[in-house]
């Protein structure tokens, strides 16, 4: 009975955290621009915008890794595709978000569909390596685009307009637009995970043979999840290109893909909440430590190892583990 009561309390704590933690994070992000204005700390707004943009793609990656068991090491390619869609359209004189945003999402989903058909024929380390190969292929294609900057990248003249109106020109306006995109991404993925589709996806991760035996075409569900994650990566690329007003091949590098995976692991694999928290902690730590030394990874690396060793569920799992330790 004691074990059952403990399990019920842990489950209740987990459910409370599923509501309290994301609510706190979104409220904190919503009130940050006024605080940055009152304290005259513009860099806080810039840093928070970066956190929001990357959180979109980290949530998408967590959907694959945490719920589908598909460890992609080339997910940064989708960011780059979305960003280059914005940059190339801008270079050709098309700067409206009503065209650029669907183009960024569409080209990323198309790439995800074409490569996913091939990637999902493999498993485990082979899946990791083939996603890495496709990601690097897009990286080298981007570096060869001499017409659009090549290695040097491509500057964007101005942020996208919306139906001709410069609604995203101001930093705070763009911040809240990005926050709205993050909220929509989070809610969409939360509903998707809780749906029948999400249950099949999780079942395929735990026991693919059993799911196939009862009649589900596992690869089809995984391909749809891969396409969705790719489209969300394109959305992040659209936001990143407009945030920095610059596009570069480094957006697609394998180092960028590795950083995205670190953010997922740091926050907690298969939590969605942890994707946002892990992104924030990683980028804030990077900003703080890089101000101390250019070799900030030497400090951050051991900290990440400690998190992996003592917080198996990531930062989100620390609260439940603390409760279990107190009541052991």
Helix (H) or strand (E) holding 299: helix 297-310
Q: What is the pLDDT of residues 33-78, one digit of tens each?
A: 888 887 767 888 999 999 999 999 999 999 999 999 999 999 999 9
Rounded (10°) angle between helices 218-244 and 196-206: 110
Strand partners, 162: 165
The first and second tokens of residue 51, run together, are 């956190």
Dist. CA 190–CA 260, nearest whole Å: 19
- Please answer whether residues 82 and 236 qualify as being in contact, where contact means their C-beta atoms are separated by less than 8 angstroms: yes
The first and second tokens of residue 231, run together, are 């489209």
Q: What is the pLDDT of residues 123-142, one digit of tens each?
A: 889 999 999 999 999 999 99
Q: From the CB of residue 319, how many other CB atoms can be counted at a distance below 10 Å?
A: 17
So what's the pLDDT on residue 3? 47
- Domain made up of 49-326: CATH architecture: Orthogonal Bundle (1.10)
- Lowest-pLDDT range, 159-163, 264-268, 298-302, 311-315? 311-315
Dist. CA 326–CA 328, nearest whole Å: 6
Domain range list for the chain: 49-326
The pLDDT confidence band at residue 327, using thresholds 50, 70 and 90, is: very low
Task: Judge whether residue 215 has pLDDT over 90.
Answer: no
Per the confidence metrics, is the pTM higher than 0.85?
yes
Helix (H) or strand (E) holding 116: helix 97-119
- Please answer whether residues 112 and 77 qualify as being in contact, where contact means their C-beta atoms are separated by less than 8 angstroms: no
Three-state SS sequence of 138-200: HHHHHHCCHHHCHHHCEECCCCCEECCECCCCCHHHHHHHHHHHHHHHHHHHHHHHHCHHHHH
Give the position of tokens 């790439």: 111
């Amino acid at each position: 009975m004691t074990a059952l009561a403990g399990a019920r309390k842990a489950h209740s704590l987990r459910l409370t955290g599923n509501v309290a933690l994301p609510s706190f994070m979104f409220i904190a992000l919503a009130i940050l621009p006024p605080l940055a204005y009152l304290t005259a700390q513009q860099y806080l707004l810039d840093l928070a915008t970066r956190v929001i943009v990357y959180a979109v793609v980290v949530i998408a990656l967590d959907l694959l890794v945490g719920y589908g068991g598909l460890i992609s090491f080339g997910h940064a390619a989708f960011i780059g595709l979305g960003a280059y869609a914005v940059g190339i359209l801008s270079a050709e004189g098309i700067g409206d978000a009503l065209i650029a945003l669907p183009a960024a999402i569409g080209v990323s989903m198309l790439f995800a569909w074409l490569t996913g058909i091939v990637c999902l024929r493999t498993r485990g380390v082979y899946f990791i390596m083939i996603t890495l190969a496709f990601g690097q292929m897009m990286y080298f294609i981007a570096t060869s685009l001499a017409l659009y900057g090549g290695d040097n990248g491509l500057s964007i003249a101005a942020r996208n307009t919306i139906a001709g109106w410069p609604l995203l020109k101001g930093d705070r306006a763009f911040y809240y637009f990005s926050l709205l995109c993050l909220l929509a991404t989070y809610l969409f993925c939360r509903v998707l995970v809780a749906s029948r589709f999400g249950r099949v996806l999780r079942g395929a991760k735990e026991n693919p043979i059993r799911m196939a035996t009862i009649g589900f075409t596992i690869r089809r569900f995984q391909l749809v999840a891969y396409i969705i994650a790719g489209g969300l990566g394109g959305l992040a690329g659209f936001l990143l290109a407009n945030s920095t007003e610059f596009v570069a091949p480094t957006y697609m590098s394998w180092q960028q893909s590795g950083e995205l995976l670190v953010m997922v692991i740091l926050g907690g694999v298969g939590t969605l909440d942890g994707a946002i928290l892990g992104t924030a902690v990683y980028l804030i730590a990077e900003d703080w430590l890089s101000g101390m030394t250019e070799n900030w990874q030497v400090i951050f690396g051991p900290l990440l190892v400690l998190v992996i060793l003592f917080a198996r569920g990531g930062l989100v799992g620390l609260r439940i583990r603390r409760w279990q330790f107190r009541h052991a």
